């Protein structure tokens, strides 16, 4: 996993300079780079398209922006960092006094050397973000202000990658691609999702895994509006696997690369299978972690879990959104993200997918008394194994709870045995014809 961590970090560094927003060429350039690692199906949704209670906005692109001081020196320069411009700023070309300019400037007085990340997606305005220490050093005088941007009809862009499974029920893995130069809150999730997709494709998973790379909020809403067959049929009918939706489980990845402990935010249901799996995997791994309840604020889990859909989708991060000082600032740079943290997040995702994929419900075909395991060679197969007693107990527990209502995760939790031991016992019993799925 060390090599994967370094490779993911290299992807974060490569994507970091790009100016992303909820629409525009920065999103396309990001997806082009991800597409070098995974085949992507890219979707372009025109401006003005109704999507649930929203409408796809105009597309925003930017070529250049700066503030030049009275000597002509650029004191704030978009070329140095995409964070310097208020996201979705309308074009401007003007000469303003420092006092006139102040109303369009955003800083972080508590962190005077950092540049904040600010946007104004749905209210036309313009502005710049800069370090407080830069603002404090500006002399009085007239400043040249220029933002060479366009806000016009275009498209919202998102992409999907599908890893085919043995069944058509899907696990949705989602990450957002709309933030500019923010390494943890945006790019780390993209990197982990990309490597997770590659790892799953090396085998033949049980579920079909659908990876969604989309702008936050409006991207998830657009995907939900365009995929009623995957989320429960004709809108606005409730969704979820119980009502025929093809999304059986889901996970939103965000803030996936900082050194903090792992945090899993449960789905709105709180008892979805993904919630149980993540609780089990994190607890069994002995990693420092935290489990939090669902709140309707955060990332796109709040869209997937909205009551009309009620999908079983949780969110995995390390330090959660707004939980670290560097959040939405220039300090969230590639140095803040570590290869070790990226690799650890990826490992947890792989472990969770493995449990999801193997968590079957079985029915005991010899339920009247304990079946004779010896004459079927099941005891003989344990001879000489250092874990023979554990394997035998796992067989007995699987037989006892294989009533069609209990899953293998139920068996592991109730017995206290490792999930791998339980699944190995189930495989052996299934091969011997004692249980059936």
DSSP code per residue over 232-263: TSSTTS--SGGGT-SEEEEEEE-S-SSSSPEE
Phi-psi region of 395 (alpha: psi -120 to 50; beta: other; left: phi over 0): alpha
For the chain, give every domain's residue range.
2-57+155-358, 59-151, 361-436
| Whether the Cβ atoms of residue 416 and residue 366 lie closer than 8 Å to each other | no
- The CATH class for the domain spanning 2-57+155-358 reads alpha beta
Helix (H) or strand (E) holding 221: helix 218-226
Cα(56)–Cα(48) distance, integer angstroms: 5
3-state secondary structure of 117: coil
Cα(126)–Cα(91) distance, integer angstroms: 7
Asked if domains 59-151 and 361-436 share a fold, the reply is: no
* Tokens (6 digits) for 136: 């404090």
Mean pLDDT over 211-228 rounds to 96
Q: Is the pLDDT of residue 288 over 80?
A: yes
319 contact partners, CB below 8 Å, separation of at least 6: 255, 258, 260, 261, 263
Confidence of residue 24 (pLDDT cuts 50, 70, 90): very high
Binding site residue list for Zn(2+): 179, 185, 328
Mean pLDDT over 403-413 rounds to 96
Mean pLDDT over 232-236 rounds to 51
Measuring CA to CA, which residue among 258, 329, 336, 327 is closest to residue 113? 329
Report the share of the chain in percent with pLDDT over 90: 89
Confidence of residue 379 (pLDDT cuts 50, 70, 90): confident
pLDDT, tens only, 96-140: 999 999 999 999 999 999 999 999 999 999 999 999 999 999 999
Q: What is the pLDDT of residue 275?
A: 98
The CATH number assigned to the domain with range 361-436 reads 1.10.10.10
Binding site residue list: 179, 185, 328
Measuring CA to CA, which residue among 361, 373, 365 is closest to residue 434? 365
Mean pLDDT over 274-284 rounds to 97
| Whether the Cβ atoms of residue 309 and residue 250 lie closer than 8 Å to each other | no
pLDDT, tens only, 83-95: 999 999 999 999 9
Confidence of residue 194 (pLDDT cuts 50, 70, 90): very high
Q: Is the pLDDT of residue 430 over 90?
A: yes
Q: How, if at all, do strands 247-253 and 262-265 pair? A: unpaired
418 contact partners, CB below 8 Å, separation of at least 6: 284, 390, 412
Which sign does the torsion angle of CA 358, 363, 367, 372 carry?
negative
315 vs 176, 250, 274, 335, 418, CA distance in Å? 12, 8, 10, 24, 24
Q: Is the pLDDT of residue 28 over 70?
A: yes
Q: How, if at all, do strands 128-129 and 105-106 pair? A: parallel
Helix (H) or strand (E) holding 363: strand 361-364
The stretches of 374-416 forming alpha helices (DSSP H) are: 388-401, 408-415
| Angle at which helices 189-201 and 25-34 cross, to 10° | 30
Q: Is the pLDDT of residue 243 over 60?
A: no
Q: What are phi and psi of 431, to 5 degrees?
A: -65, -35
Confidence of residue 291 (pLDDT cuts 50, 70, 90): very high
Q: Report the topology of domain 59-151.
A: Glucose Oxidase; domain 1 (3.50.30)
Q: What is the pLDDT of residue 279?
A: 98
Q: What is the pLDDT of residue 387?
A: 73
Q: What are phi and psi of 433, to 5 degrees?
A: 80, 20
For the chain, the first-to-last Cα distance in angstroms comes to: 33
Q: What is the pLDDT of residue 237?
A: 43
Cα(61)–Cα(18) distance, integer angstroms: 12
Phi-psi region of 168 (alpha: psi -120 to 50; beta: other; left: phi over 0): alpha
């Amino acid at each position: 996993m060390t090599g994967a961590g370094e490779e993911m970090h290299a992807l974060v560094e490569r994507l970091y300079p790009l100016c992303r927003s909820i629409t525009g060429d920065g999103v396309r350039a990001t997806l082009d780079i991800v597409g070098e690692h995974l085949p992507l199906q890219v979707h372009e949704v025109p401006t003005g398209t109704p999507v649930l209670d929203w409408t796809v906005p105009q597309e925003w692109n930017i070529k250049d922006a700066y503030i030049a001081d009275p000597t002509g020196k650029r004191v704030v320069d978009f070329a140095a960092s995409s964070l310097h411009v208020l996201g979705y700023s309308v074009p401007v070309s003007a000469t303003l006094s420092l006092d006139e300019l102040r109303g369009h400037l955003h800083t972080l007085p508590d962190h005077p050397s950092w540049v904040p990340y600010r946007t104004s997606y749905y209210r036309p305005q313009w502005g710049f973000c800069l370090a407080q220490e830069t603002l404090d050093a500006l002399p009085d005088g007239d400043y040249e202000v220029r933002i060479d941007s366009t806000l016009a009809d275009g498209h919202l862009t998102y992409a999907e990658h599908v890893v085919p499974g043995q069944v058509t029920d899907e696990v949705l893995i989602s990450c957002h691609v709309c933030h500019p130069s923010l390494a943890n809150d945006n790019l780390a999730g993209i990197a982990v999702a990309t490597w997770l997709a590659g790892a799953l494709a090396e085998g033949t998973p049980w579920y079909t895994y659908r990876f969604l790379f989309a702008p936050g909020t409006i991207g998830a809403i657009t995907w939900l509006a365009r995929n009623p067959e995957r989320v429960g049929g004709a809108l606005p009918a409730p969704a979820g696997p119980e009502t025929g939706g093809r999304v059986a489980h889901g996970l939103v990845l965000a803030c996936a690369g900082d050194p903090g402990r792992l945090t899993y935010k449960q789905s709105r249901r709180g008892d979805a299978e993904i919630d149980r799996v993540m609780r089990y995997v994190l607890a069994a791994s002995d990693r420092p972690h935290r489990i939090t309840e669902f709140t309707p604020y955060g990332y796109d889990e709040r869209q997937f879990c909205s009551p009309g859909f009620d999908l079983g989708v949780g969110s995995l991060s390390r330090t959660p959104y707004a939980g670290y000082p560097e959040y939405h600032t220039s300090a969230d740079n590639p140095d803040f993200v570590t290869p070790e943290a990226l690799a650890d997040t990826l490992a947890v995702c792989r472990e969770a997918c493995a449990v999801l994929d193997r968590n079957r419900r079985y029915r005991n075909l010899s339920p009247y008394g304990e079946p004779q395991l010896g004459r079927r060679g099941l005891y003989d197969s344990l001879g000489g194994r250092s874990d023979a007693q554990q394997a035998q107990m796992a067989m007995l527990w699987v037989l006892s709870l294989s009533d069609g209502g209990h899953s293998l995760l139920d068996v592991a939790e109730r017995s206290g045995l490792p999930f791998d031991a339980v699944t190995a016992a189930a495989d052996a019993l299934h091969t011997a014809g004692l249980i059936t799925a």
